[in-house]
Structure 1
């Protein structure tokens, strides 16, 4: 009898989350989409250039790019990602009163869908979408390795930092869902290694060979010629990032490090608010039937986290990076659930008052941010 009111609380959190997401979207419409808009303008007009795939696709359909396309394309990608994640959650955990708390701490997390709305138009969500696709498709043949390779290559062409941001998680998903369940052979291992080497070569090409071959002023004029409203030149103020070498990015990041580190306590608090989710994740790993599988999962978490540490040292958008790390952990949890277990791990209890209080806080938080907390 005492749990019924708390079950109503968890259901209420879903409605509040939907309202918060709508509010974040309306707020986002009032912000200037500086970098996301430039991504729609840059294409392969001057040859192979990093961060140009999305703009090249847009150029196939229109010569003049309107600002509203940032929200139209970003909104469609968000809706697809949200819909596929809901499908993935249903496939893994089902939908019932018992699974509602876990759904609140994942889909309702300020690190996940709400933050993707705030970062609408940025490229992070494409990695999450690709990883969700790999969790939904069958994993009984080498086809999933080829699919993961193609998706990873597309992500690197969208932005080469995806090699650190989502490719490690996608690799872990393939290892857990395919290699650990179907077994390793000379053929599939050779294909996997070749795919990783090819993706590494593509990353190096994008990083070091995909530089803009024309002067900055000429580049800006070209972008302006593609704008539906060329008078809005303020939207092009970040065009310099296509000319910024890695050394300059490192210099800027470390120059901002003292102020960015002030946000660490806030990030730690946000992660602590998800304590029920982390406890469930840890229990799921401990329940795996094979000790070797447990070690592989822990190694995957380590590799993914190490990739993010490298990102933290290179680019200062810390709120985005931490948010994507949490998304990677959420998606990795779904991959872990595909492995054999010695027992059924209880979901986050919906009658636990402490979890409910944390759930309400997580629900009320609208986002984590892009560079600094909130």
Structure 2
């Protein structure tokens, strides 16, 4: 290994993170992909259906769906997301020595790429991927607002929970990168409000009119006909989620709430371990040259956080929600970095002993999980 890696703990952390990611991947492919696989089978065969867009696209190219496709598609989405994130970081900060701690706390966070590897095949990563694309694309024209609306509509069709999970962050990125820079005109305000209304209506359609209208036995029989190996019937055990009303999801969440709340201290500890990054984020906001920009950034963070609070009350995949909330904060940080600042923000100290310890702990934690911590 290069001598510089051993001399610089932050470079060594990157190498260890790569090794941890490989371990998480090998563990992941040994697990049965119950939820991700069934999403590849569901399409619009019985009419408009929630959570069916990815399966509908696959049905255009393949009549039978093998299990390995979960890992192939999930792995491709992960690689593209990771690659675009690296490009975003390089373009925003650069890969000089002074910014390595920031990269480690983001890319090496157990909330981010490592947890996306653990949830390989789930739909969360698509929201992150689209948001990174919007951070990379130029935001000068009205086409940017329309592209964000198209991304948001696609996410809602993939899974309607994206209305709370990543659509608010996408909206925040559009506001910070387009409206605060280009200004608000009658035309772009009209397009923005119309886009929000259309996405809201699409969510209502998916949530309340996307439930299966045929008996569950007929639905399962159709899904089995699309399986490359129809004998693996256990992989269809989650078919009930296309019939379960919102009230039942909320009831189940509150039934599990006392037990799941035991994980809150762990989540708080994991967030606290990112203190150097949060301190940098706050300093970044504080150095914005306009007070109005600081207030709008604060409002965007509150709105995004409220969306996740609503999800906490509705669906019990708490580890995923906390992880994606943290990723959304990372993404908003990049949008803030693009705003005019009165002075440069000092980078995270690479020599501070406490920061180095936090960096190592964050590096060694393999992932956060799906429902409960780890």
The TM-score, its normalising length taken from structure 1, stands at 0.98
Please provide the CA RMSD for this pair.
0.9
2:262 is aligned to: 262
Q: SS at the partner of 1:98?
A: helix
Structure 2 residue aligned with 1:10: 10
Tell me if the contact between 2:93 and 2:99 (Cα under 8 Å) persists in the aligned partners. Answer: yes
The verdict on how the C-alpha distance between 1:103 and 1:167 changes in structure 2, with shifts beyond 3 A counting, is same
Query: Which residue number corresponds to residue 151 of structure 2?
Result: 151
Contact 1:6 1:350 (C-alpha < 8 Å) held by counterparts: no
Secondary structure at the aligned position of 2:97 is classed as coil
Separation in 1 of the partners of 2:353 and 2:93? 22
Counterpart of 2:21 in structure 1 is 21
Secondary structure of the 1:366 match is coil
Deviations 1:269-313 (A, max 9, x none): 000000000000000000000000000000000000000000000
1:353 positional shift: 1.1
Aligned to 1:85: 85
Tell me if the contact between 2:6 and 2:12 (Cα under 8 Å) persists in the aligned partners. no
Match in the other structure for 1:106: 106
**Where does residue 237 of structure 2 map in the other structure?**
237
User: Equivalent residue for 1:184?
Assistant: 184
Q: Report the Cα offset of residue 151 of structure 1.
A: 0.4
For residues 245-324 of structure 1, what are the structure 2 equivalents within 5 Å?
Answer: 245-324=245-324
Q: Helix, strand or coil: the match of 1:99? A: helix
1:359 paired residue number: 359
Q: TM-score normalized by structure 2?
A: 0.98
Secondary structure of the equivalent of 1:81? helix
Residues 205-216 of structure 1 correspond to what in structure 2 (within 5 A)?
205-216=205-216
Q: CA deviation at 1:7?
A: 6.1
Gap regions ≥5 residues in structure 1:
none
Segments of structure 2 that go 5 or more residues without pairing to the other structure are none
Kept in 1, the 8 Å contact 2:317–2:370? The answer is yes
Corresponding residue for residue 129 of structure 1 = 129
Work out the CA distance in 2 between the residues paired with 1:180 and 1:41.
42
Say whether the 8 Å CA contact 2:5–2:12 is kept in structure 1: no
How many pairs were matched up?
A: 371
Match of 2:342 in 1: 342
Report if the CA contact (8 A) 1:7-1:351 is conserved. no
- 1:29 to partner: Cα distance: 0.6
Secondary structure of the 1:262 match is helix
Secondary structure of 1:263's partner? Answer: helix
Contact 1:7 1:97 in 2 (8 A): no
Partner secondary structure for residue 32 of structure 2: coil
User: Alignment partner of 1:139: what SS?
Assistant: coil
